Amino acid sequence: MAKIDPIRRAQIGQEKRARTRAQLIGAASSLFAKRAIEGVTVDDVVTEAGVAKGTFYVHFDDLQALTAAVADELIETLDEFLQPQRRSISDPLTRVALGCYTFIEKAREDRAWANVVARMASSDASVGKVARSRLLEDLRLVFAKTPPRELSLELALEVVLGIVLQVLTAIGQGRISAVDNKEIIALILRAIGIGNSEAKSVLSRLQKLA
């Protein structure tokens, strides 16, 4: 009888669990694109994923945890998509503006995406941690460049995130349609203490990038 390498067996088990988890996240994401989050059940998800119901609870405690995982993946996928363009921009404030603009534009294109991301990012601090850390680093560079500001770095981070998530919520619920994205970015810049002259420069650069 061939001897099974226990290390390789463990790797195969991890790979299988990762694939199954990805199946569940993919199934939930597909369902959320078709109907409201409240209309999706665990039974719906496992049927869509083609796995047993017991398998669901191996990976997630409940549907809330799965929804948070879906939102996290949606955020990180868009954030990674932004990275090449972000790395090409030397000005950190322009990077902040571009990130906010891109998330808002994505929400306009996909209201179901906006609903999932806004709801879960607002209620679960673990959602979007990588994107949040990148925003924090850019804001830290902004504050280091032109101190002092009226807001602390931590409060500025929450102000930016708060406005973006509120806008995503409003878009997802169909309450915002006509407002130009750049008006929202201008509001975010003013809210963190950016002067009119600097804000206009950032919006001008954003116009060329977006």
Alpha-carbon gap, residue 101 to 177, rounded angstroms: 15
Shared domain check, 189 and 85: yes
Domain range enclosing 171: 71-209
Q: Which of 5-14, 59-68, 127-136, 171-180 has the lowest mean pLDDT?
A: 5-14
Cβ neighbours of residue 21 under 8 Å, at least 6 residues apart?
Answer: 59, 69
Shared domain check, 51 and 89: no
Alpha-carbon gap, residue 101 to 116, rounded angstroms: 18
CB atoms within 10 A of CB 74: 24
Q: What is the mean pLDDT of the chain?
A: 91
Q: What is the CATH number for 46?
A: 1.10.10.60
Q: In this predicted structure, what is the pLDDT of residue 46?
A: 96
Q: In this predicted structure, what is the pLDDT of residue 9?
A: 62
Shared domain check, 50 and 92: no
Shared domain check, 111 and 191: yes
Shared domain check, 115 and 194: yes
Alpha-carbon gap, residue 26 to 70, rounded angstroms: 8
Q: Is residue 123 part of a domain?
A: yes
Domain boundary among 60, 88, 106: 60
Domain boundary among 17, 39, 60: 60
Q: Is a pLDDT exceeding 80 seen at residue 14?
A: no
Q: In this predicted structure, what is the pLDDT of residue 7?
A: 64
Alpha-carbon gap, residue 12 to 4, rounded angstroms: 12
Domain count, the chain: 2
Shared domain check, 54 and 150: no
* Digit-coded pLDDT (tens) for 35-57: 888 999 999 999 999 999 999 99
Shared domain check, 52 and 17: yes
What's the CA angle centered on 112, arms 29 and 67, to 5 degrees?
40
Shared domain check, 26 and 116: no
Q: Is residue 65 part of a domain?
A: no
Q: Is residue 170 part of a domain?
A: yes
* Digit-coded pLDDT (tens) for 55-94: 999 999 999 999 999 999 999 999 999 999 999 999 999 9
Q: In this predicted structure, what is the pLDDT of residue 209?
A: 87
* Digit-coded pLDDT (tens) for 168-187: 999 999 998 778 899 999 99
Q: Is residue 3 part of a domain?
A: yes
Alpha-carbon dihedral sign for residues 194, 197, 200, 206:
negative
Alpha-carbon gap, residue 52 to 41, rounded angstroms: 14
Q: Is residue 28 part of a domain?
A: yes
Shared domain check, 54 and 88: no
Shared domain check, 48 and 17: yes
Q: Which of 2-6, 126-130, 203-207 has the lowest mean pLDDT?
A: 2-6
Q: What is the CATH number for 97?
A: 1.10.357.10
Q: Is residue 184 part of a domain?
A: yes
Question: pLDDT grade, residue 4 (50/70/90)?
Answer: low
Share of the chain above pLDDT 90, in %: 79
Shared domain check, 110 and 55: no
Q: In this predicted structure, what is the pLDDT of residue 13?
A: 55
Q: In this predicted structure, what is the pLDDT of residue 3?
A: 60
Shared domain check, 114 and 55: no
Tokens of 194: 């950016």
Q: Is residue 66 part of a domain?
A: no
Q: Is residue 193 part of a domain?
A: yes
**DSSP letters for 119-155:** HHHHH-TTTTHHHHHHHHHHHHHHHHHS---SS-HHH
Closest CA to 162 of 129, 138, 188, 183: 188
